[in-house]
Amino acid sequence: MADIQIRPVIREDLKELKDLMRAYIVDFYKGKKPEDSRLENHILHILNSDEAGTQFVAVGEDGTLAGFATLYFSFSTTRVQKIAILNDLFVDAAHRGSGIGEKLFRHVLQFTKNEDYAYLTWQTAMDNTSAQALYKKMGGKNINSEWIHYEIEWN
């Protein structure tokens, strides 16, 4: 893990990041394969908009990307402060178990503290016990919210 560098995404990461994100969407979540242009536009939107969010990558000593984390930004009216939503934290299958997920999470956590976000929020699947173990280890709490989560899907 010591040889892993965490840094913000740069334009030169585009091809490799698309491959990682495709593996995350299709292989890990069993989702529909996104159109290449839509995935590229999504990455570029985040890269080019400080207001939308940010992405970080885990880079191995050989320069290849081993994982990524995506934050989206929003606001809390009750806190009168910006908030960060950790939407994705993914480590390539070949690199899992090496501490990269923890290093990515620590980086995201430090970023949100340094940038004065009110809080960092995220969710994970009920059956993703390895992610839950990481989040508990890092101090995350399952808030068992009184709020009910709703969603409408178009596709």
The answer to whether 73 and 51 are in contact (CB under 8 A) is yes
* Domain locations in the chain as residue ranges: 5-137
Q: Are 56 and 43 a contacting pair, CB within 8 Å?
A: no
Query: What pLDDT score does 43 carry?
Result: 97
Question: Considering the domain 5-137, what is its CATH architecture?
Answer: 3-Layer(aba) Sandwich (3.40)
Q: Span 139-149, mean pLDDT?
A: 72
How many whole angstroms separate alpha carbon 119 and alpha carbon 26? 30
Structure tokens at 99: 């501490």
What's the pTM value of the predicted model, to 2 decimals? 0.86
